[in-house]
Amino acid sequence: MSNLDLSPLLQRLEEYQPQGRTALLPALHDAQQLYGYIPQAAAKAIGQALNVPLADVYGVIEFYSLFYSQPVGKTVIHICNDPACALAGSEALFKQIRFQQESAPAIDSPLSLTVEMAPCLGLCEHAPAVLIQGQPVARANRQTWQELVSGKGERPSSMLGGTVSILTANCGLGHTVELSEYLDLGGYQALRKALNMPPRQVIEEIKAAGLVGRGGAAFPTGLKWEAAANAPGEVKYVVCNADEAEPGTFKDRVLMEDDPHSILEGILIAAYAIGAQKGYVYIRGEYLLPYQAMNKAVEDAHQAGFLGNNVLDSDFNFEIEIRRGAGAYICGEETALFESIEGKRGFPRLKPPFPTTYGLFGKPTVINNVETLANVPVIIRKGSAHYRKLGTEKSPGSKLFCLSGDVVRPGLYEIPFGVPFHHLLYDLAGGVRPGHRFQAALFGGAAGAFATPDHLNVRLTFEDLKEAGLPLGSGVITVFDETRDLRDICLRLARFFVEESCGKCYPCQIGTQRQFEIMERIARGEVQKDDWERLQDVGWTMTDSSLCGLGQTAASAILSAMKHFPHLFQPV
């Protein structure tokens, strides 16, 4: 690789240089785009330009699964391997495509191929899904090989349902709603209104609306904003967490692809409320189309005066930068996400201190999920009292549910909080696939828990689900009919966590590996004496003692399966 031409990279590095280490991931993305992988010489040039120790540059490359330190095929194919796609036949698809790889020419040929199993790609309603050079293809098992590699495979289009369309009002139109259309639909009116309110009043309105985070942790949004607004310091940040990677979740992808300006509007209002001057949107590396849609939206918003200095002729100045992740579920954990923006391995930090006082670059930061921010313009435009007309007292508003698996009409469903699960499943989504009956559903994704037929009547609210021992999480519901072996599903979840554990704390670093090994035995029908106790000890140790939310929930689904379906874990 001595004939590597570094000049195009060096040119780009000149632009990145003033930013220093925070530009590391963008620079690595550029290098990979230029060379197909990240050659050592390129990594060295990047480290020197950004003043990052070379060992750290390598550490970062190695952390993110979409960065390659060795040459890969000219075409890279990622095949989803998680529950929803597995139910739709991703395993067979992988074997077929793997076969193509075996007959593909060597790595330096233009026809060379690299095929990888991938964690959930957030295309669960289009299962089985694949990415070809980052471009999503829906129902890949129904496409010919030629269609796949020529980029003519079926493009996923949003599949929407539900009983209300508030957050999804501008979604499912078959195209991305651009600025002019967004304005025609009443867009940026909430921002105008907010800019005429004192920032405190904006926060009070969000508090009064009872909005809680939609990323999974359900923390009250208004309290978060208030804490950041009250934190000492001039420099503050708003970060939009668009690292949607919980297996079974795809709501944020649809929102960003279809209606990116509503997210920007939410970010702008949050920034005005807490006194932030800069915001980041951190989008998972697998979401190329949302990344492009959000970038375009930022550009357009800038030109139209919704971003930059003196937003809408007010005193409010604000800039937004869109960042791409590079294949790491852990970066959805808020502090790991900060580390990633700062150009580091995505290791979660110890908490406290919390982001509202010590967040991105050590400054007070509000970090909110995409869907949470999409609620903000809705609340401000019509007021908290109007917002509260939907939903329940403790769970006001509407919620997006990602339905996939063995269901007649998978898709994104917007419903008011309080709708019973069976109504969503049977009346709205058409029920379990024909000829089959409901066995179980995974609520909350890999970090979630199983619902059984006994849970069909549960109302979908934070309070009802909590009482039923089910997490609402990010709104994932993956449905399994009676033919499915839940041991296989548990094995996939275990493998997901092995792949995605960052390795920082021992319980998760080793526990995910041991959990996977025991699940492998169980799925093979080779349960050993005392495996039940081993699985329980590993699971509860991860739950009790892990450093971050990933490890603390890495055993959640398996422990719930052990509770509801204990016979599956016994020797045959």
Partner 1 sequence: MSETIRITIDQQTLQVQAGSTILQAARQAGIDIPTICYHDYCTANGLCRICVVEVEGARTLQPACVAQVHDGMVIYTRSERVLRSRRTILEMLASSVDLSEAPEIQTMLQQYHSDSHRFPDAEVRHPPVIDDNPMYIRDYAKCILCWRCVQVCAEDAQYTFAINFSGRGYETQISTFYEISMPESSCVFCGQCVGVCPTGALKPKRQWLLEMGYTPDDIMNLTRSQRQRRKRREEAAARTE
Shorter beta-carbon distance to partner 1: residue 455 or 504: 504
Cβ distance to partner 1 smaller for residue 57 or 465: 57
Could you give the residue ranges of the DSSP H alpha helices within 343-433?
370-382, 384-387, 421-422
d(CA 496, CA 249): 14
Is residue 311 within 8 A of residue 273, CB to CB? The reply is no
Residue 498 binding partner 1, by CB under 8 A: yes
CA distance 441 to 451: 5
Q: Are 9 and 306 in contact (CB under 8 A)?
A: no
Nearest residue (CB) to partner 1, 20 versus 430: 20
Q: Helices 506-524 and 486-500 meet at what angle, rounded to 10?
A: 150
Q: Which is nearer to partner 1, 108 or 544 (CB)?
A: 544
521 binds partner 1 (CB under 8 A): yes
Q: Which of residues 50-89 bind partner 1 (CB under 8 A)?
A: 53-59, 62-63, 69
Smallest CA-to-CA distance from 552 within 348, 345, 368 is with: 348
Q: Residue type at 495?
A: R
In the 8-state DSSP scheme, what is residue 361?
G
Q: Which of 17, 19, 40, 163 binds partner 1 (CB under 8 A)?
A: 40
Tell me the C-alpha distance between 441 and 565, whole Å: 13
Per-residue binding letters, 338-367, with partner 1 (x by CB under 8 A)? -------x----x-----------------
Does residue 213 interact with partner 1 by CB under 8 A? no
Determine the distance from the C-alpha atom of residue 501 to the mean position of all C-alpha atoms in its chain, rounded to a whole number.
Answer: 15
Stretch that binds partner 1, among 161-169, 262-270, 293-301, 505-513 (CB under 8 A): 505-513
Question: Which of residues 253 and 495 has its CB atom nearest to partner 1 in the complex?
Answer: 495
Please identify, using beta-carbon distances, which residue of 63 and 480 lies nearer to partner 1: 63
Is 393 a binding residue for partner 1 by CB under 8 A? The answer is: no
Pick the binder of partner 1 from 514, 556, 558, 569 (CB under 8 A): 514
| 540 is a contact residue toward partner 1 (CB under 8 A) | yes
SS (H, E, C) 540-569: HHHHHHCCCHHHHHCCHHHHHHHHHCHHHH
> Is 321 within 8 Å of 240 (Cβ atoms)?
no
Window of 221-229, 300-308, 360-368, 514-522 that interacts with partner 1 by CB under 8 A: 514-522
Phi, psi values for residue 508, rounded to 5°:
-80, -45
Q: Is 178 in the site for partner 1 (CB under 8 A)?
A: no
The CA distance from 359 to 228, in Å, is 10
Among 185, 513, 532, 564, binds partner 1 (CB under 8 A): 513
Pick one of 36, 500, 555, 569: the residue that binds partner 1 (CB under 8 A): 500
Residue where the block lists tokens 């992808």: 253
The nearer residue to partner 1, 278 or 487, going by C-beta atoms, is 487
Beta pairing partners, 415: 399
Chosen residue from 81, 368, 501, 556 binding partner 1 by CB under 8 A = 501
Binding site for partner 1 (CB under 8 A): 40, 43-44, 47, 53-59, 62-63, 69, 328, 345, 350, 498-507, 509-514, 517, 521, 528, 534, 537-538, 540-541, 543-547, 552
